[in-house]
Amino acid sequence: MSGRSSKRASAVIAMASAFTLALSSGAWANWSSSINSWTDGGGSNGQSRYWADESYSEIIFKGCSVQGGSKTTGVELWDYDALSSNDFYGEKTFTNCFNGSTYASRGEYNGLPQESDYYFQLDNVGGGSNACCLLWATYAGVDTSLADS
């Protein structure tokens, strides 16, 4: 392969890699969904999707209910690191969302490093430990804009 062809192929590969990275699940910022029978810890039944952030994230739950235990849940903020241990940014206790479908629990995190793989997971659902209880929320969302209404 000539030098010119090799450079062109390298440029195409680099652009394709950047495009793929931009479309990965980590590239999303604000999003919303619901929670259906999550319990403590990560995995497919207790860990959110990933999002990107520059310095601020707010996690919001509405319309919460719990099977077993009290009306409370911990929400932990993490970022995923493929080559090292995941970084933990703290836990917020959510209780207000259990007061009805229009009541929101909010956990704000400020001064975060720019990352593309933030996620939250539950801890102490229902005030218990060791995955005692299940949580539902009609709304679970992430806001990274600081422009709350």
Query: Quick check: 18 pLDDT over 80?
Result: no
Per cent of the chain over pLDDT 90 is 53
Q: Give yes or no for a contact between 71 and 64, defined as CB atoms under 8 angstroms apart.
A: yes
* CATH code at 26-143: 2.60.120
Query: Quick check: 2 pLDDT over 90?
Result: no
Nearest to 75 by CA among 44, 102, 109, 29: 109
The residue-averaged pLDDT of 101-130 equals 90
Task: Please list, residue by residue across 50-62, b when 16 or more beta carbons sit within 10 angstroms of its beta carbon and e when fewer do.
Answer: bbbbeeebbbbbb
* pLDDT at residue 42, rounded to an integer: 66
- Mean pLDDT, the chain, rounded, equals 80
What does the alpha-carbon distance between residue 112 and residue 26 come to, in Å, rounded to a whole number?
A: 15
Query: Quick check: 14 pLDDT over 90?
Result: no
11, 51, 70 from 25: Cα distances, Å? 24, 7, 33
User: What pLDDT, in 10s, does the model give residues 74-92?
Assistant: 999 999 988 889 999 999 9
User: What pLDDT, in 10s, does the model give residues 29-66?
Assistant: 789 999 999 988 866 677 899 999 888 999 999 999 99
* pLDDT at residue 131, rounded to an integer: 64
Three-state SS for 46? coil
Chain centroid to CA 46 = 10
Higher pLDDT pick, 14 / 135: 135
Q: Where are the domains of the chain?
A: 26-143
